[in-house]
Structure 1
């Protein structure tokens, strides 16, 4: 399990996500620990096994 810090796309606060890199690429919704709004989380693994985590609000295109 990896712990990744991201900025909430709504309130801008830094939150920590627990990410299981062994599960491969993932898409899920997790509520912000500060403002409780739903963040769409994308987890992608690169060819070297590095994690790339992005959080976005539901209004992002």
Structure 2
């Protein structure tokens, strides 16, 4: 079952909704902001209770 998470774009600060597949094991992905079209690096963390924590990271911070 797909899950949605609302995150804030690290560029334009707009709130955007991201659709996640909990069965997908990849923990990092890049998706463009729907408002400003800049690339957002996402880091997905699976918690022990099955919930997903999603961090939206600015492109410059993704390579630190």
- TM over 0.5, yes or no? yes
Q: Is there any run of 5+ residues in structure 2 with no aligned partner, and where? A: none
Q: TM-score, normalised by structure 2?
A: 0.87
Q: Is there any run of 5+ residues in structure 1 with no aligned partner, and where? A: none
Matched length = 61
Structure holding more strand per residue: 1
The 2-side partners of 1:47 and 1:38 are apart by: 29
Structure holding more helix per residue: 1
Q: TM-score, normalised by structure 1?
A: 0.91
Where does structure 1 differ by over 3 angstroms across 4 or more consecutive aligned residues? none
**Cα RMSD, aligned residues only:** 1.1
